[in-house]
Chain A
Amino acid sequence: MTRSELLEKISEILGEIVEMDDLHLAETTKAEDVQDWDSTNHVRLLVAIESTFGIRFETDQIGGLQNVGQLLDLVESKL
């Protein structure tokens, strides 16, 4: 999967969670930029990503993600 395909897929997953049909995230997007991307929906997002890609985030990887780009780095490192 290319980086931009991954970005699209994660946009789709988050879009379903926050009920936005046409969400297109950018590498620099932060949680506060997206309406309803609160802490509960963040947990939903991470669990959904784990389930979709068959990966598991480790304890010290879960906190501290500043933007979508860093999330993509993390997911890519596990694929």
Chain B
Amino acid sequence: MSVSVVDLPWLPAAPANFAAACKSIGADGCKAGPALQYLSGFRLTAQQSVSVWRALKRCKQQGIDLSPLSDFRLGILTNATFDLLNDQLPAAAARHGVALELVTTPYDQVVQQALDPLSVVNTSNLDAVLVAVDHRWLALDRPKLDENPQDHVSNAIKRLRQVVDALRENGRTTAIIQTVATPPHALFGNLDRRVPGTVRSMIDEVNRAIVQLAAETGSYLLDAAALAERVGTDLWSDPVRWAAYKLPFAAEFFPIYADMLGRLLASIRGKARKCLVLDLDNTVWGGVIGDDGLDGIHVGQGSSKGEAFLSVQQAALELRQRGIILAVCSKNSDEVARVPFREHPDMLLREEHISVFQANWTDKPSNLEAIANALNIGVDSLVLLDDNPAERAQVRASLPMVAVPELPDDPGWFAWHLLAAGYFEAVAYSAEDRLRADSYASDAKRATVMAKARDLGDYLSSLGMVITFAPFGKSGRQRIVQLINKTNQFNLTTRRYTEAEVVAADEDGATLTLQTRLQDKFGDLGMIGVVICRSTSNPEVWDIETWLMSCRVLGRGVEQAMLAEVVEQARNRGALKLIGRYIPTSKNSMVADHYHKLGFQQVEIGEATGTCWELTLADYSRPQLSMQVVRGDTVLMRAAQ
């Protein structure tokens, strides 16, 4: 598997109702700015980009408020046909928080437009002008072996400087100049860089001079050459399209070029992201710290998996070094989450690198808001790196202003996706930036979270969850025994059973056993819950002896679905009342109010520790569930290991 920026793989796929959603922007009572940014955050076809542009134009015409997008008026001067690229620019800009207005100019009038004080480009009150010229305009498209190549390079730079200066003088506007992509051919081969008059040598020279020109004139730099190099100049250069339509380079790279320009404009407006929020389990280390313990997680030397996760930590640290703030947002208890930071020898990230450390069982959107508040930055300054597609979907649905890159299954590519997405684009860099991360108290503090009830709308149903219930039986037995003996956190009574005891429970007519499996549209989560419920001396009262669940499926209504199933099965066996107990341990405080949340009433018991709860089945009504329920038998569960 190889990845390339060409398809912008860090962007999620556009939803089916994209066209309709675009049309309703500005007309449906929702804020247009965030809606535009949200829709632009998907991977778009050229036509979808144009739809976004049309929606943006419509909003502007109708005077609709586009905040918090920042306005930007951009002129385009080019020696190529830029229309198809222009099509993609507004969506790319909106993706990064900018409401773009484009002012285009007649074809191939770069010098004329710049030098004429009354030209379109000089009288449109532009925030910047993109001077998108290539090696042909710079007259560096032919080798100059017999003449003095240095003169040709100087002339090229003079011509460009003339345009930049004229724009400043006549148009009171700043130029965005770009480096030059080198055409793929070699005249000699390996010798080209050593002969000053080859196209390669001259372009190398002119690119150095362009970087210098940007610094001297206070212009911005778009590194088109770097992009061409990255995707391959053989693919970038498209002589057929140039000859036919004067397209500047291969059309397949228009989306990524547009995105790079969008990042640059956002950075000019101060909209580049400031804080990287890291999930922990299976994002910065392999495994789940709460289940696997310090010795069980994979980080660092000794395994390719461990090395992959270390590369994520390395990327985070490098970003921190240049001034990006790091935060943690993890579904774990706080103490447990900090253990690897404190004690694992191979971790690169330590608590002192983390400005805000949120590890709790509250939803991630609420925690992200808390992180932004604690740092006194906007939610639109955050990037969330999270391996879990359901978490990513939830954050995108609740907080569309947070950047959430798509990630592949292989953690070896996480750092690539994060960095390729370019959230942290900068147009300047100073000592102040370097020190920014430190200036936020690096005490890995905990911010207070105010969990709010969020209308996630279709989020849960859009997950397409299917929950499967079955009695224990033979096929799931290994996994059941494992879960019973290894689950510590979401475990009401932490009662351990040997395999023989599990078999006995299964075969006992007065015991109800339940294994629970969950699938969603992202994949199969496997077995995620176990219940053992026994009839007491009173056959109308059944006691829930064991209830445990995987922490991976919190916040999805699984508890409610499991209770509904237990109630139904208990009822079928003559139960009128269910009893549940909570026996506290050092690890299961998260379920102290589990039965309370499910509508049980607390009962007084004579015992010192723990709580006891009861549910009168006549008072219970089955809630609306956000998942499809399937009743498997042990045969169907065979596949679920």
Contact = CB atoms under 8 A, between A and B. Distances in A.
Question: Does B bind A?
Answer: yes
Contacts of A59: 240, 243-244
Interface stretch (A24-32, A40-48, A66-74): A40-48
Interface string B242-284: 0111010001100000000000000000000000000000000
Contact of A43 (B45, B54, B84, B240): B84
A16 B45 CA distance: 12
Given A40-B83, A43-B83, A43-B84, A48 B46 contact: yes
B387 interface: no
User: Closest 6 interchain pairs by CB?
Assistant: A62-B244, A16-B47, A43-B245, A47-B251, A40-B83, A59-B240
10 contacts: A13-B47, A16-B47, A17-B47, A43-B245, A44-B46, A44-B83, A47-B46, A47-B84, A51-B46, A59-B243
A56 B245 CA distance: 14
A58 B240 contact: yes
Contacts of A58: 240
Nearest to A39: B245
B426 to A, nearest CB: 32
B127 to A, nearest CB: 25
A71 B50 CA distance: 24
Contacts of B251: 47, 50-51
Contacts of B47: 13, 16-17, 48
A44 B247 CA distance: 11
Contacts of A51: 45-46, 251-252
Contacts of A13: 47
B506 interface: no
Given A51-B251, A59-B240, A63-B244, 20 more contacts: A16-B47, A17-B50, A43-B81, A43-B83, A43-B84, A43-B245, A43-B247, A44-B46, A44-B84, A44-B87, A47-B46, A47-B84, A47-B247, A47-B251, A48-B46, A51-B45, A51-B46, A56-B240, A62-B244, A62-B245
Most buried by B among A44, A50, A59: A44
Nearest to A40: B83
Interface of A: 13, 16-17, 19, 40, 43-44, 47-48, 50-51, 56, 58-59, 62-63
A58 B83 CA distance: 21
Interface in B23-64: 45-47, 50, 54
A75 B87 CA distance: 24
The A interface is mostly helix, strand or loop, or mixed, namely: helix
Contacts of A19: 54
Contacts of B244: 59, 62-63
B251 to A, nearest CB: 5
A33 B266 CA distance: 42
Nearest to A17: B47
Nearest to B240: A59
A63 B243 CA distance: 11
A30 B598 CA distance: 68
Contacts of B50: 16-17
Most buried by B among A13, A16, A63: A16
A62 B246 CA distance: 13
A73 B247 CA distance: 25
A48 B84 CA distance: 10
Nearest to B83: A40
A20 to B, nearest CB: 13
A49 B243 CA distance: 19
A17 B54 CA distance: 11
A43 to B, nearest CB: 5
Contacts of A44: 46, 83-84, 87
B49 to A, nearest CB: 11
Nearest to B241: A47
Contacts of B247: 43, 47
Nearest to B243: A59
Nearest to B51: A16
Nearest to B47: A16
Nearest to A62: B244
Nearest to B54: A19
A44 B88 CA distance: 12
Contacts of B83: 40, 43-44
A23 to B, nearest CB: 14
Interface string B366-406: 00000000000000000000000000000000000000000
A65 to B, nearest CB: 12
A63 B245 CA distance: 10
A43 B243 CA distance: 13
A63 B84 CA distance: 18
Interface string B194-235: 000000000000000000000000000000000000000000
A71 B251 CA distance: 20
A30 B244 CA distance: 20
A21 B221 CA distance: 40
A38 to B, nearest CB: 10
Contacts of B54: 19
A58 B243 CA distance: 11
Most buried by B among A40, A43, A59, A62: A43
A13 B245 CA distance: 19
Nearest to A43: B245
A74 B546 CA distance: 69
B76 to A, nearest CB: 14
A63 B83 CA distance: 19
Nearest to A48: B46
Nearest to A12: B47
A50 to B, nearest CB: 8
A51 B47 CA distance: 11
A16 B46 CA distance: 10
Contacts of A43: 81, 83-84, 245, 247
